[in-house]
Structure 1
Amino acid sequence: MNACANNLSLKRQNTSSGFTLIELMVTIAVLAIIVSIAAPNISTQLANQRVKSTAATFANALKEAKVESVIRRQNVEVIYNANATPKTLTLRANSNNIAIYNINSKSSVTPTINPSSVTSIVFRPDKTIANGATVLYTVCDSGSNSETARQVSLSRIGNVDTKNAGRC
């Protein structure tokens, strides 16, 4: 069996073996429909991931501050600066920066229980918070219409907990 082009009939040799314009347009239309269905879900997933990431960063910074205060045997302050670009969480001991965490610009962190403590929390070497108050932060995403929120709670003895709760 020889499959070379010379053995094909004249009519088959003159026809193209590509796709027609109609076939290409139908394929593009189907792809457009699939993308239009999937796009809102992808946007929501990205917003959820930003909220998770910001909550984890916030919780890790608080945990690190608690540990650093015990190790250094001095007060460690966590300072949240929402006005900076990018938003930052700074860990500071004796006016020296220990660590700086950047927070996604589309994320917002708001205090729920103790509004005065959103900008600064001081951990003492005895594993407690300086003002002794329970603090609850709600992390939201301003980049989408998603109502997904996570809460980071900080107890009087400095325990940090993250959960899916709250409203944006």
Structure 2
Amino acid sequence: MRNRSQGFTLVELMVTIAVAAILLTIGVPSLVSMYEGFRTNSNVEKIHNVMAFARNQAISYGATVNVCPFASVSTCGTSADWSGGIRVYINSAGTDKELRAIDSFHSNDKVKGPSGTITFSPEGLSSGGTLIYCPGGKTAESQSVDITTSGKISYGNDGNSC
């Protein structure tokens, strides 16, 4: 009587590895685009929420609240590039008090907005503007947040140019 050994043969193992490699080659690109879509939705929601927060704080404090792109640790940028993050602050007694901040976004993504600062008045009115989030710099997949001068904050059109 012959004992049969347990396990896989080399041929079976190589076929299994080849099939797994083919499946990964097909599946990974779609997973990357799915991850990019989730990241975009999450970051656009963050931008929307921080703008709503700024407007609510302006009304609550009865003071002007500013939203600007990060330039460095505690200063605002003056360019239209908001990729470095977003800073929300109130100026009281001549000093800036930071209320909230969003750190920089993913290094491949671009965030374009108005040059300088978006302000919210104590009445909830705004200087207005549109922030466009472009994942990987792709215009076709971009999403935006619109801020009207009346202070309304809403999700804007998709596919705006970066």
Normalized against structure 1, the TM-score is what? 0.78
**Letter paired with 2:64:** N
Change (3 A) 1:82 1:41: farther
Which of these residues, 65, 79, 87, is aligned with residue 68 of structure 2? 79
1:87–1:105: 8 Å Cα contact kept in structure 2? no
Q: What residue number does 2:118 align with?
A: 121
Identity level (%):
25
**Which moves more between the two structures, 63-72 or 43-52?**
43-52
The answer on 1:62 being equivalent to 2:54 is no
**1:28-69 CA-partner distances (Å, limit 9, x unpaired):** 111111111111101111111221122111111110000000
The answer on 1:147 being equivalent to 2:140 is yes
Which of these residues, 108, 111, 119, is aligned with residue 109 of structure 1? 111
Instruction: Give the C-alpha shift of residue 138 in structure 1.
Output: 1.2
1:78–1:120: 8 Å Cα contact kept in structure 2? yes
Q: What residue number does 1:156 align with?
A: 149
- In structure 2, C-alpha distance between the alignment counterparts of 1:46 and 1:167, rounded to whole Å: 21
Q: What residue number does 2:80 align with?
A: none
Change (3 A) 1:51 1:22: same
**1:74-102 CA-partner distances (Å, limit 9, x unpaired):** 00001112677x82211111111111122
**Letter paired with 1:92:** Y
Change (3 A) 1:82 1:38: farther
Instruction: Give the C-alpha shift of residue 147 in structure 1.
Output: 3.4
**1:7-39 CA-partner distances (Å, limit 9, x unpaired):** xxx21x2x3121111111111111111111111
Q: What residue number does 1:5 align with?
A: none
**Letter paired with 2:88:** L
- In structure 1, C-alpha distance between the alignment counterparts of 2:48 and 2:101, rounded to whole Å: 14
Change (3 A) 1:56 1:80: same
Higher Rg of the two aligned structures = 1
Write out aligned runs for 1:11-26 (5 A).
11=2, 13=3, 15-26=4-15
Gap runs ≥5 in structure 1? 1-9
**Which moves more between the two structures, 74-83 or 41-50?**
74-83
Q: What residue number does 2:37 align with?
A: 48
Aligned-CA RMSD value: 2.1
1:47–1:146: 8 Å Cα contact kept in structure 2? no
1:92–1:99: 8 Å Cα contact kept in structure 2? yes
Gap runs ≥5 in structure 2? 74-82
